[in-house]
Structure 1
Amino acid sequence: MTRLEVEFPALPGSIDGYKGASDWFIDSNIQLAMAASRILVKESGKRVHILVPDGGEYNRSYKMFKGALDLADGVSMGHLKENSKGVFSGFNIFGSVPDTDAETLSLAARKADVFIVVNASTIELLDLERYIEETVGERPLVLWNLELDTLRADLGLLGFPPKELQFRFLSQFTPVFYIRQRDYSKSVAVSPFIINYSGCIFREYPGPWQVMLRQDNGQYACIAEDERRYNLGEAKEEMMAAMGLDTEEEGSALQFLRRGYKRSTWWEDAVDLEQTDQWRR
């Protein structure tokens, strides 16, 4: 396998990805990617090249983690534009230049056996696709906590890459470790009138996709599993069924109002347009 996705909550508590403290989220992702890289080097001897979006982000991150990188044999850091030939390559909008020259970054990329991409936005997915074509080739590349489901939602909007990027590119990535947590509530006719519940979609390759329900003790219990990926609507239905909350009659108006007209996203529905279904497996 050469195209992999890893997705899990990088920070606990109230930090919810970029909607919380974005710098904490960004730095936490890099720290965790470096920890995983050191394990890969130790266990397999493979060299790992960690990629941030651009020269500006590289400059900041390299300064922050230079000490850890110097101590991590076989782990290097670069960015998705390190091989760009444009007039502004190597510079960012604040005018700073990365500490490491382009030739050094290019050499580290050529020596790498595995690439880990962190903190890329929707716009930078095109840079990622180009980097894979020009530099990575058939070597393994891991998308690390990119929140792809959030990025996919922007595709096709004004100023963002087209939806076709999902069909030709993002669909190639197999989720090898995936946790997506969600909180829900439902009103009922008797006390306590509002029932709050939460759970997650979980997958650890090569195991099946699982719907997990959060118990009163904070632990998660598997309530359903399938070989194919669940969408959020399906996962919610499984949670409600496990709790006995799917009380509306099948096909009734109340059930329609609860479920709504649309239970899945455009990228989940467009099966016929995908070049591969790896992202669903």
Structure 2
Amino acid sequence: MKLSITALALALSLSSSHAFTPPPTLSSLQSFTSNNRHETLISMNIPAPTASGGATPEEIQAAANNEPPPSSFFELQRASVRAAQAAINDGKTLLEVEFPPLPAQVLDMDDVSAYDVAKANVNLALDFARSFVSTDEIEGDVAVMLPDESECNIMLEDLKLEPKPYPGVILTSLRKGEEGDTRMFKPENLFIGLMGRGSGGTVKPIEGVGMYVIVVASAQELPDVEELYEQIKTPTTDGGKEPVIVFYNLKLDVLRGDLGAPAFPGKDFQDRFLSRVKPVYYLRTRQYSRSVSQPPFIINFQGCIFRSYPGHFQTLLDTGTGRYRKVVGNDLRPALGEFKEQLTDALREEGAIAKKEEEGALFGFLRTGYKTTTWWEDEREDASLEWRT
């Protein structure tokens, strides 16, 4: 009998310690869907940093700059809500929340599909959405949105949920069909999307919704989010708050790499829209290998870029003891090549990589290569660098 992903994740988390262990050994992140903790987070009123007991902005900034990665999914979800609240209070309306949705032991299993990961993200997004119901930051309901109706209907059926699974939370889709159209697959929508001409009017804001949480969207479907944003960004005349859009575990860094390819949005989409999305809670891990001329000849190391708004971007090195060590704090988000070099410098300082290994310009060039950034990380002419802040 195949063990469900949720049950397996919970079993792994309960058998591990509470110390944060970075991927690929992320089993210490406890399943946020455990019932005893689920209701606790939903019922608690997590204050935004700007209202934290009279703390000065400098104290809040310093605390966020040194915030450690979470020790459980419960803490992760609570911290991501707090960071999003702080960003909304500062007037941000396009937010990114990014973290591993399941323990790495589960993600690495052969029988774990992309749909299993999608279900985990939907469950986490619903919990995230519930944390904003009836709060000062958001006016109205919170809508968790999948790309189209067919995906939404399948998810509702599979998770045994109603379109309004919780008070104030809606599970729905970006694209809406005409009333009476019950087709699961709509070829005209696919054609319009491939031509890069928007949704054909099928993307509409939902009345009474103050936050949209976007999940399981591909690069081809991101223009639908831009279309939604263009319709809701106009300031209200009654003094109400502008709705917020949250890009939830979409792996935007990966999706950006598809821009400009045939049947995908053009590269200008990055500068026009995606660069404006603020990573308010961001935890991205990377693993590397490096050859050296003496034993052990191959050094495997890993680390992560971590940011909890309003803190800066922390480059963290996995110490091999189940914990991270902060290497440097970056006011601007480092490109992946810069991040790798920061980790390498830390290993060099610790003596894991001998300085003589770096001697010689040609040798260093062969190690790093000519290109150390992706196209959207380059300082191109007329390019927007808002994504780094």
- TM-score bracket for the superposition, by shorter chain length: 0.7 to 0.9
- Aligned partner of 1:119 in structure 2 is 216
Correspondence for 1:57: 151
2:231 equivalent among 112, 134, 150: 134
CA contact (8 A) 1:55 1:91 kept: no
1:269 corresponding residue in structure 2: 378
Please give the per-residue CA displacement for 1:133-171, whole angstroms capped at 9, x wherever unaligned. 235654111000000011010100111110011010101
The residue identity in structure 1 corresponding to 2:219 is T
Q: 1:174 offset after TM fit, Å?
A: 0.5
Q: How many Å apart are 1:221 and its aligned residue?
A: 1.4
Q: Which residue of 1 aligns with 2:388?
A: 280
Q: Which residue of 2 aligns with 1:101?
A: none
Q: Percent identity?
A: 38
Contiguous gaps of at least 5 residues in structure 2? 1-91, 188-202, 235-241
Q: 1:110 to 1:52 in 2, by over 3 A?
A: same
Contact kept, 8 Å, 2:164 with 2:171, in 1: the verdict is no
Match of 1:258 among 367, 374, 386: 367
The equivalent of 2:104 in structure 1 is: 13
Deviations 1:61-100 (A, max 9, x none): 1223454765511000111112x66x997633289xxxxx
Cα gap change, 1:26 to 1:133, in 2 (>3 Å): same
- For structure 1, the 5+ residue unaligned runs are 96-104
**Root mean square deviation of aligned Cα:** 2.7
| Among candidates 287, 303, 310, match of residue 199 of structure 1 | 303
Match of 1:98 in 2: none
| Distance in 2 separating the partners of 1:54 and 1:250 | 54
Residues 280, 307 of structure 2: 8 Å contact kept: yes
Distance 1:67 1:20, change over 3 A: closer
Rounded Cα–Cα distance in structure 1 between residues aligned with 2:160 and 2:180: 24
The one-letter amino acid paired with 1:207 is G
1:75 to 146, 165, 169: 169
Q: How high is the TM-score relative to the length of structure 2?
A: 0.63
* SS of 2:345 mapped into structure 1: helix
1:89 & 1:16 partners in 2: Cα distance? 39
Are the equivalent residues in 1 in contact too, given 2:156–2:162 (CA < 8 A)?
A: no
Contact 2:95–2:279, Cα closer than 8 Å, also in 1: yes
2:165 and 2:171 in contact (8 A); partners too: no
C-alpha contact 1:81 1:131 (8 A) present in aligned 2: no
The aligned counterpart of 1:232 is: 336
Which whole-Å deviations, capped at 9, do the CAs of 1:243-279 have from their partners, x for residues lacking one? 11373446610100111101111111145433x5332
Instruction: Give the alignment of 1:84-163 within 5 angstroms.
Output: 91-93=183-185, 109-135=206-232, 138-163=242-267
- Equivalent residue of 2:219, what SS? coil
Partners of 1:219 and 1:71 in 2: how far apart? 37
2:66 is matched with none
Greater shift, 31-40 or 65-74, is seen at 65-74
1:69 and 1:37 map into 2 onto residues whose CA distance is 14
SS at 1:123 equivalent: helix
Alignment deviations for residues 164-201 of structure 1 (CA, whole Å, 9 cap, x no partner):
11010101100001111111111112211111110011
Change (3 A) 1:132 1:258: same
TM-score (norm 1): 0.86
> 1:57 deviation in Å?
0.6
CA contact (8 A) 1:50 1:115 kept: yes
SS in structure 2 of the partner of residue 124 of structure 1: helix
* CA distance in 2 between partners of 1:66 and 1:94 (Å): 24
Instruction: Tell me whether 66-75 or 135-144 shows the greater mean CA deviation.
Output: 66-75
Q: Is the 8 A contact 1:237 1:246 kept in 2?
A: no
Q: How many residues are matched?
A: 267
CA distance in 1, matches of 2:294, 2:167: 61
SS of 1:273's partner is coil
